[in-house]
């Protein structure tokens, strides 16, 4: 019996050590951050492509309120309630004291300056594909916003999702750490659109409706639409399927991103409303690039359930 107890203790210690090692947060070190002169115009482009204000501004913000990124919104999900953080330049409650290395670490590794895992409600699985230069430009643009003093409370999650350290195992499954690689067989426009959708444009990806039981994306349902993760309405199918964008031309898609109008003179609704309100700030060549990419991907039938 004593030998058995000792074996159990040894196995428990070894198991704990392996868990600790596998779940260690990774970070980007300053020595690996490229030297780059901030391009604020490009930073603004990345800001609107990513729809940052839609989540980090106060709920239903409009006009200048979209530039006050103090958090406050709550995302209610099957895993619990996530509270959107303050990403304004406030030093005490926002990201004003972050270095470029801190910001890039958060965006591509999902790790805080204090080396805690972020939950994937923060879409670092998309942002990891962005270039370091675009991330530095985005950080520079965010630094020009008004500082908002607002300390956001903790998430309210059920067990076992409230064990933050376990996210290290989740990342082993779903975070590959690869930046976007252009397809040599595709046009420049398609590659640009692919980068915008798969990198900063996580609002177009909207993958929670295709998540598995631990919140990981099922890529075989990529952009195929389905029930909205908020529980009401649907996320549209953005593939060239007959129930998606199959009958739309590239010009139709670009025009919808610019104006919010569909080819049949209806207006975009639901979650696409906020997406379009952000996309309208992009230049015409980006609308065209996104359209070219969406028409180039394989059609997938719309999901009837989660």
CB proximity list for 34: less than 8 A, separation 6 or greater: 132, 133, 136
Nearest to 230 by CA among 111, 86, 76: 76
74 in Cβ contact with 89 (< 8 Å): no
* End-to-end Cα, the chain, rounded Å: 49
Judging by beta carbons within 10 Å of its beta carbon (0-12, 13-18, 19+), is residue 163 exposed, middle or buried? exposed
User: What is the full DSSP assignment across 233-300?
Assistant: SEEPP-SSSTTTTTT--HHHHHHHHHHSB-TTS-B--THHHHHHHHHTTS-HHHHHHHHHHHHHSPP-
Per-residue pLDDT of the chain (306 residues; tens, 9 = 90+): 777 667 667 767 777 677 666 777 889 999 999 999 999 999 999 999 988 888 888 766 666 677 788 887 888 887 888 999 999 999 999 999 999 999 999 999 999 999 999 998 888 988 999 999 999 999 999 999 999 999 988 999 888 888 888 888 889 888 888 889 999 999 999 999 999 998 987 766 555 445 555 566 666 677 777 666 555 667 778 888 888 888 889 999 999 999 888 888 888 777 777 888 889 999 999 999 999 999 998 888 876 544
**Residue entry with tokens 């999900």:** 77
The vertex-98 CA angle with 97 and 103, nearest 5°, equals 160
Both tokens assigned to 27: 């970070």
If 0-12 CB within 10 Å is exposed, 13-18 middle and 19+ buried, where does residue 284 land? exposed
């Amino acid at each position: 019996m004593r030998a058995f107890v000792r074996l159990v203790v040894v196995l428990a210690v070894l198991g704990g050590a392996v868990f600790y090692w596998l779940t260690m947060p990774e970070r980007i070190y300053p020595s690996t951050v490229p030297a780059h002169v901030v391009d604020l115009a490009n930073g603004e482009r990345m800001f609107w492509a990513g729809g940052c204000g839609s989540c980090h501004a106060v709920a239903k913000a409009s006009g200048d309120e979209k530039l006050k990124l103090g958090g406050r919104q709550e995302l209610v999900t099957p895993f619990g309630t996530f509270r959107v953080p303050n990403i304004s330049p406030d030093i005490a409650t926002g990201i004003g004291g972050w270095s470029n290395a801190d910001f890039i670490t958060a965006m591509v590794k999902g790790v805080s300056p204090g080396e805690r895992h972020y939950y994937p409600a923060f879409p670092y699985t998309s942002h990891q594909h962005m270039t370091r230069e675009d991330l530095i430009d985005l950080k520079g643009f965010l630094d020009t916003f008004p500082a908002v003093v607002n300390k956001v409370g903790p998430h309210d999650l059920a067990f076992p999702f409230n064990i933050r350290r376990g996210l290290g195992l989740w990342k082993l499954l779903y975070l590959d750490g690869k930046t976007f690689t252009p397809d040599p067989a595709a046009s420049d426009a398609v590659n640009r659109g692919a980068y915008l959708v798969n990198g900063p444009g996580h609002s177009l990806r909207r993958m929670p409706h295709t998540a598995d039981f631990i919140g990981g994306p099922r890529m075989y349902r990529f952009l195929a639409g389905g029930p909205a993760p908020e529980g009401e309405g649907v996320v549209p199918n953005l593939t060239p399927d007959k129930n998606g964008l199959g009958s739309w031309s590239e010009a139709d898609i670009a025009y919808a991103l610019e104006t919010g109008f569909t080819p049949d003179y209806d207006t975009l609704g639901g979650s696409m409303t906020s997406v379009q309100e952000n996309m309208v700030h992009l230049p015409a060549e980006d609308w065209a690039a996104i359209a070219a990419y969406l028409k180039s991907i394989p059609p997938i039938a719309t999901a009837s359930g989660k």
